Amino acid sequence: KSFYAACRRILSRIRVGNRRFNTANTLVGVVMR
Residue 1: the pLDDT is: 65
pTM: 0.37
* Res. 25: pLDDT tops 80: no
| Rounded distance between C-alpha atoms, residue 33 and residue 19, angstroms | 21
Output the CA angle 7-12-17, nearest 5 degrees.
125
Question: CA separation (Å) from 24 to 1, 2, 14, 21, 29?
Answer: 24, 24, 11, 5, 9
Residue 33 has pLDDT above 80, yes or no: no
Is 9 or 29 the better-scoring residue by pLDDT? Answer: 9
User: For residue 17, which amino acid is it?
Assistant: G
Model pLDDT for residues 1-18, shown as the tens digit of each residue = 688 888 888 878 776 656
Helices of type H across 1-33: 2-17, 22-32
